[in-house]
Amino acid sequence: MARLEAIAADLTRRYGYRPIETPLFEQVAVFERGIGEVTDVVEKELFRLAPRSEEKEAWALRPEPTAGIARAYVQHGMQTLPQPVKLTMVGPMFRYDRPQAGRYRQFWQFDVEAIGDAGPAIDAEIIELANRFYTEAGVPGIDLRLNSIGDPQCRPAYIAELTAYYRDHVADLPPLERARLERNPLRLLDSKEPRMAVINVEAPKITDHLCTACADHFDGVRAHLDALGVAYTLAPELVRGLDYYTRTTFEIFPAGETGQQAAIGGGGRYDGLVELLGGHPTPGIGFGLGLDRVLLVTRLAEGAADETAPLAVVVSADPAATADRLVVATELRAAGLRARADLSTRKLGRQLEAASRDGAHFAVILGADAAGGTQLKDLKAGTQRVVAAGDLVKELERAARTHHHGLGEAAKR
């Protein structure tokens, strides 16, 4: 996770995003107004906090970051700053759901928001940023699915047509979908019910109903993505689970997987959100990438690489010499190296075994010979040689810089 956070921090700095922290909980109204009342996230998945008796407001743990960030934008007068305001956050989100593989009640998102730019160029810039994050994180391949869901000009006519279509199939609709049909028929398009897949294949497509302004915007997004060489698949069924989206929506899957459960990120434009939360009409776009799922995918790809394994473990022939080992390990750590001392009083052989099991690349063996010299043993290569105490830091630094951490030719002979 720390590795992914470091990649996110470095990328967002390069792309000009500033870190923001919002509270882990907000008034429920922020989510109801922003995300929408007839959505999975608010209806079923909101982690509501039990109110104290003197409390008039209802509170909930944040299920996603965008509503809270837009609330902060309005509350702290960020519309007076140069636009767009580009903000980023990595942090935990909470959704009340049945936990299972890749679906947790607390999960981490890397989030990016650009508020105050109507696009379409920034839409492509943000999508390319998501793309680059996956590449740098080591995700072996992604499928980027792209759609436009129109705006308040063109969506009502489309929704009327979609509702009429579903009414014709009402007998086949699962209970929740039937209940939602009249209140929010768009939700039926991204329903997780397997039965809906068949019905949705024939459903009218939003991209056939875009007004000229939305169609031009969508063309613009695609032209900019093409110019950047970012590959995408058009996905007319992709409406995303949250109400605040307008125009551009996208979702990212590991290559070859499409199940909703597998999505490793998603985002879109939310030109009405700031106004819904009490601000001036302000366009915005952002994404949230699921870091837990990115970790799962990259672990599968490269085998579990342990980022915390020590470069060196300090061991010694005298089991009781814990102070000597601790002193040397402390010196190595002060010099910036990942080092550990064996603090037990077991025999040298056992100390070396433990160091190997820990994934250490080197063992620094104190008092290994009659002269009391220090040996540097490469536990991966099985080579060993004497180093002067004063050269230890330099030797390990050199080894840490080289990819394979090797001791060099001299040690192999």
Which residues are at the interface with ligand AMP (CB under 6 A)? Answer: 64, 95, 97, 102-104, 107, 109, 241, 263-266, 288, 290, 292-293
**Interacting residues of 6 by C-beta distance below 8 A, sequence separation 6+:** none
**Can you tell me the distance from the alpha carbon of 106 to that of 231, in angstroms, rounded to the nearest whole number?**
31
Rounded to 5 degrees, φ, ψ at 236 are: -65, -15
Tell me the residue nearest to ligand AMP as measured from the CB: 290
Closest CB 396 distance from ligand AMP, rounded Å: 39
Angle between helices 291-302 and 121-137 (to 10 degrees): 40
CA 380 to chain centre: 33
What SS3 class is residue 131?
Answer: helix
Q: Are 217 and 267 in contact (CB under 8 A)?
A: no
Closest CB 263 distance from ligand AMP, rounded Å: 4
Q: Which of 167, 197, 191, 193 is nearest to 181 (CA)?
A: 167
Nearer to ligand AMP, 15 or 104 (CB): 104
Q: How many helices (DSSP H) and strands (DSSP E) are in the chain?
A: 16, 15
CA angle 266, 272, 273 (to 5 degrees): 65
Closest CB 217 distance from ligand AMP, rounded Å: 21
**Can you tell me the distance from the alpha carbon of 215 to that of 217, in angstroms, rounded to the nearest whole number?**
5
Cα torsion at 74, 78, 83, 89 (round to 10°)? Answer: -80
**Interacting residues of 229 by C-beta distance below 8 A, sequence separation 6+:** none
Nearer to ligand AMP, 139 or 365 (CB): 139
**Can you tell me the distance from the alpha carbon of 145 to that of 234, in angstroms, rounded to the nearest whole number?**
6
Closest CB 90 distance from ligand AMP, rounded Å: 12
Nearer to ligand AMP, 119 or 290 (CB): 290
Closest CB 3 distance from ligand AMP, rounded Å: 17
Closest CB 288 distance from ligand AMP, rounded Å: 4
Closest CB 291 distance from ligand AMP, rounded Å: 8
**Can you tell me the distance from the alpha carbon of 221 to that of 19, in angstroms, rounded to the nearest whole number?**
26
Nearer to ligand AMP, 97 or 324 (CB): 97
Nearer to ligand AMP, 140 or 406 (CB): 140
β-pair type (339-341, 312-316): parallel
Nearer to ligand AMP, 149 or 264 (CB): 264
Q: Are 90 and 57 in contact (CB under 8 A)?
A: no
Nearer to ligand AMP, 125 or 292 (CB): 292
Beta bridge partners of 366: 316
Nearer to ligand AMP, 279 or 288 (CB): 288
Nearer to ligand AMP, 276 or 396 (CB): 276
Q: Are 41 and 31 in contact (CB under 8 A)?
A: yes
Closest CB 146 distance from ligand AMP, rounded Å: 14
Closest CB 70 distance from ligand AMP, rounded Å: 14
